[in-house]
Amino acid sequence: MFRSLRRVLCAVVAALLLPLGAQAHAAETAADAGAGYWHTSGRQILDASGQPVRIAGINWFGFETGNYVVHGLWSRDYKSMIDQMKSLGYNTIRIPYSDDIFKSGTVPNSIDFSSGKNADLQGLNSLGVLDKLVSYAGRDGLKVILDRHRPDSGGQSALWYTAAVPETTWIANLKALATRYKGQDTVVGIDLHNEPHDPACWGCGDTSLDWRLAAQRAGNAVLGVNPDLLIFVEGVQTFNGVSGWWGGNLMGVGQYPVQLSVANRVVYSAHDYATSVAQQSWFSDPTFPANMPGIWDKYWGYIFKQNIAPVWVGEFGTTLQSTVDQKWLAALVSYLRPTSTYGADSFHWTFWSWNPNSGDTGGILKDDWQTVDTVKDGYLASVKAPGFPSSGGGGSDPGDPGGGTAACTASYSVSSDWGGGFNAEVKVANSGSSALSSWKVTWTWPGAQKVTSMWNASYTQSGATVTAVNASHNGAVAVGGSASFGFGGAPGGGGVPSVSCTAT
What residues are annotated to the active site? Answer: 195, 315
Helices 126-139 and 78-87 pack at an angle, to 10 degrees, of 40
Q: Which of 106, 15, 25 is nearest to 64 (CA)?
A: 106
Q: Which of 32, 74, 77 is nearest to 51 (CA)?
A: 32
158: number of Cβ within 10 Å: 17
Surface-to-core class of residue 295, CB atoms within 10 Å of its CB (0-12 exposed, 13-18 middle, 19+ buried)? buried
375: number of Cβ within 10 Å: 17
User: What are the DSSP calls for 462-484, one per residue?
Assistant: ETTEEEEEE-TTS--B-TT-EEE
- Sorted by sequence, the CB contacts under 8 Å of residue 399 that are 6+ apart come out as none
Q: In 22-91, which ranges are E strands?
A: 39-41, 44-46, 52-53, 56-59
Residues 299, 234: Cα–Cα separation, whole Å: 12
Longest alpha-carbon distance in the chain: 72
Residues 40, 430: Cα–Cα separation, whole Å: 34
Residues 425, 80: Cα–Cα separation, whole Å: 12
Answer whether the bond into residue 286 is a cis peptide, omega within 30°. no
Do β-strands 92-98 and 230-234 pair in parallel, antiparallel, or remain unpaired?
A: unpaired
Residues 105, 124: Cα–Cα separation, whole Å: 12
Do β-strands 422-430 and 408-417 pair in parallel, antiparallel, or remain unpaired?
A: antiparallel
Tell me if 76 sits within 8 A of 302, measured CB to CB.
no
Q: In 280-433, which ranges are E strands?
A: 311-317, 348-351, 408-417, 422-430
Query: Where do runs of H (alpha helix) occur along 152-300?
Result: 167-180, 211-225, 292-296
